Chains A and B, each alone.
Chain A
Amino acid sequence: QVQLVESGGGVVQPGRSLRLSCGASGFSFSSYGMHWVRQAPGKGLEWVAVISHDESMEDYADSVKGRFTISRDNSKNTLYLQMDSLRAEDTAVYYCAKKLPGSYYEPPDYWGQGTLVTVSS
C-alpha cells in the first residue's frame, strides 16, 4: 500500500531555512508526480508546490514562489521541500501527496501524515 512519511519539521526562526523530506513506498515513485500541501493550525488546506515524475516541470503557489523549492531523488524514493526565508505565516503542517496517475495537472490522491513547521522567534 502507498506510504508517505514526512520528516524535517520543527521550530525555526523567521528568515531561516528548513528542508522537509518525504519518503515514499508501496508504489513506483519515479512514475508519479508529487505535491506539497500545507495547513496552518485551525485553517484550511493550501496547495504549495508540485513536481513532475521526472523533475522536468514544477510549479508553486504565489505565496511561496521564490522562497521554496521542490525537488526529488527518484533513486532514493524521496521528495523534498527546501524552504528559505521563512515567515511566521509559513507555520503549518506540511503534507506530501502522490498525484493521481495521468497528466501533470492531476490532484493528490494519497497523503502522508504531515510534519509540523513552526516559524517563531
Chain B
Amino acid sequence: DIQMTQSPSSLSAFVGDRVTITCRASQGISNNLAWYQQKPGKVPKLLIYAASTLQSGVPSRFSGSGSGTDFTLTISSLQPEDVATYYCQKYNSALFTFGPGTKVDIK
C-alpha cells in the first residue's frame, strides 16, 4: 500500500509569512492529491484537488504543486484564520489514504 507522509508535523509562523507544507507518497500517484484544512472543532474543508486546482471559494493565497511523489501546499501570506491542521490525501486508487497532518499556528 502507498503511504503518505507530511512535513513538518507542526509549524508556527508570523502573520504575513509564506508557509510551505510538504506531502510525500511512497509511490507515484500522478497528480491525484487533495489538500484539506480542518480548523479546531470544525469539519474538514477541501482546499485543492488534482494537486494544484483550487476549490471554488478558497482564497487565492493557497496554492498547490507537485506530481508523482512530492507535493507542496503553500500559503503565500499567512492569516490568523488559517490556524488549522492541514491534511493531504491521495486518490489514485481505491485506498484514499490521508497524510498524518500538519498543524499550523501563529507566532
| A interface, CB within 8 angstroms of B | 35, 37, 44-47, 50, 59, 61-62, 95, 100, 104-114
Contact = CB atoms under 8 A, between A and B. Distances in A.
Contacts of A105: 32, 91-94
B43 A114 contact: yes
A111 to B, nearest CB: 5
A46 B95 CA distance: 11
Chain B interface size, as a band, is: 20 to 34
Nearest to B96: A47
Contact of B98 (A45, A62, A110): A45
A75 B97 CA distance: 30
B98 A50 contact: no
B100 interface: yes
B55 to A, nearest CB: 7
Interface in B1-59: 1, 32, 34, 36, 38, 43-46, 49, 55
B71 interface: no
A4 to B, nearest CB: 9
Contact of B46 (A44, A46, A107): A107
A45 B42 CA distance: 13
Given A108-B46, A109-B46, A59 B94 contact: yes
20 contacts: A44-B87, A44-B100, A44-B101, A45-B38, A45-B44, A45-B87, A47-B95, A50-B94, A59-B94, A59-B95, A62-B95, A95-B44, A100-B49, A105-B32, A105-B92, A105-B93, A107-B49, A107-B91, A108-B44, A111-B45
